[in-house]
Structure 1
Amino acid sequence: MTTAPILLAYDGSADADRALEWAAEESRGTGLPVRVMTVEDVQETPMVVSMRHGVPVAVASTVPEVLDRARTALTGAGVGVATFDHAVGSVVGELLEAAASASLVVLGSRGHAPASEMILGSVSQHVARHATSPVVVVREPRDPGARRIVVGVDGSPGSRAALELACRRAERTGGTVVALHGWYVHVPSTDVWSAVPRSLADEDERRRLLSESVAGVREDHPDVELELEAIGTSPATALVDASASASLVVVGARGRSFVGGLLLGSVSQSVLRHAQCPVAVAR
């Protein structure tokens, strides 16, 4: 079993606090340590230069206070082992480098731009796309009491990794896993000689794909309550709609090609932008 830490990107914003709570819960459930990282996007010094009446003024870094706040919060949340790092440089670059030795990266969907210049709105998108480890982007859920973990499934290796991540979390939290397969519905032909709704012709095939995709998971995680949903709408729309009543949406970093019906490279990005709950990108 891995002992690689959970990497928490933290800047003291409201979304970063939510990410801290998520990481703390994951740490308690898995026993993994937490590595907190705050990054100042400056090249030479942890002092930030601002302008006052047109004159450069050195402003002391707020990083020590931010890390102290994270330390206090994690201790109060019952996290046994945590380390705290302050990096100076490219926010995305520093986080991606640290992610290479992490079991999971957790960060808020948006941050703020204090002295640290850590703007997580763009950072979260870049890290989720390029990290080599799974990434969880935390935002306030629309339904705080939701216990459904929704997973985008298309039969690809990426979706299998997503389903495995969801089931492991459900085992710890007691939530229900919803395996959701959406597909692009072709518009029926307007030719009166062949006006057959092609979307109906492959519905059975789609449901069969979904059942086959979860067969092994049922065996590996017999105690997890698993529901199957096949919806004839675009995958991104199906997942975003389902996120309104979910505690977490899980997608693979990449799925099948467009010809296969589900392009998770773009779907995952759309879900990251529009989901109404935290999103995990599995690898």
Structure 2
Amino acid sequence: MGSGGGAGAGESAGRRIVVGVGGSLGSLAALHRAVGEARRTGAEVVAVLAWLPPGGEHGYRRSPCPPLLAAVREGAAGRLRTALEEAFAGAGAGVRLTSQLVRGEAGAALVATADRPDDLLVLGAGRGSWYRRSVARYCLRHAACPVLAVPRPALQRELESYHRRAVWHLRSEPAPRCGVGGAARLDR
């Protein structure tokens, strides 16, 4: 996938901005930040989606199933296409953009792709699942290039706050009581 864009005056020939894409609001923010940096510097954006077989690599080695592997890979390719189309409303990024599916753990896949010292690795960061935090932590520890961790967008923080309040409210509600006291009788 690519979309044209002019090179900036200070472009270094092979400068790349590698960005993790997964479809979340955090990865969308990271993708938009990467594109903004590419517009400013003339770099190419490489959008990466990492994927694993069901059960991980160990599970797949124990029970390989090529048709299932092909379906999972195609599903990952579809998620990447959809994320890129939705990120730019089908209009294109306005910069040189390529996409890559990488089979492997997300952190290792991103670090392996952003393997040049003049690359920039951009990823969504901030509060979230243990998995997302561990990806950011892995990238910060192992990357051979600068890493830009983009904070969660305000909308994501608001949605998470709403979800926490809704869950707390549901947990604080007393459970309905059946067959005791004021419960309706069904045998009338």
Please state which band the TM-score falls in when normalised by the shorter chain. Answer: 0.5 to 0.7
Superposition pairs of residues 1-283 of structure 1, within 5 angstroms: 146-185=14-53, 186=56, 187-188=59-60, 190=62, 195-197=64-66, 198-219=68-89, 222-245=93-116, 247-253=119-125, 263-283=131-151
Amino acid across the alignment from 1:180: V
In 2: Cα distance, 1:189 partner to 1:234 partner: 15
Q: Residues 219-249 of structure 1, C-alpha deviation per residue, up to 9 Å, x if partnerless? A: 5664211101011111111111112135200
Q: Structure 2 vs 1, CA of residues 182 and 222 (structure 1 numbering), >3 Å: closer, same or farther?
A: closer
Q: Structure 2 vs 1, CA of residues 242 and 279 (structure 1 numbering), >3 Å: closer, same or farther?
A: same
Q: For residue 189 of structure 1, report the CA deviation from its aligned partner.
A: 6.6
Higher relative contact order (CA 8 A, sep 6+): 2
Which ranges in structure 1 are unaligned for 5 or more consecutive residues?
1-28, 30-143
**Maintained 8 Å contact 1:156/1:256:** no
Q: Which structure: greater strand fraction?
A: 1
**Maintained 8 Å contact 1:156/1:255:** no
User: What is the number of equivalent residue pairs in this alignment?
Assistant: 134
The percent of aligned pairs where both chains have the same amino acid is 34
In 2: Cα distance, 1:273 partner to 1:235 partner: 14
Q: For residue 275 of structure 1, report the CA deviation from its aligned partner.
A: 0.3
Which ranges in structure 2 are unaligned for 5 or more consecutive residues?
1-7, 152-188
In 1: Cα distance, 2:51 partner to 2:93 partner: 27
Q: Residues 248-277 of structure 1, C-alpha deviation per residue, up to 9 Å, x if partnerless? A: 00010159858xxxx321101100011011
Q: Residues 119-165 of structure 1, C-alpha deviation per residue, up to 9 Å, x if partnerless? A: xxxxxxxxxxxxxxxxxxxxxxxxx8641100001101110010010
**Maintained 8 Å contact 1:182/1:233:** yes
In 1: Cα distance, 2:77 partner to 2:108 partner: 18
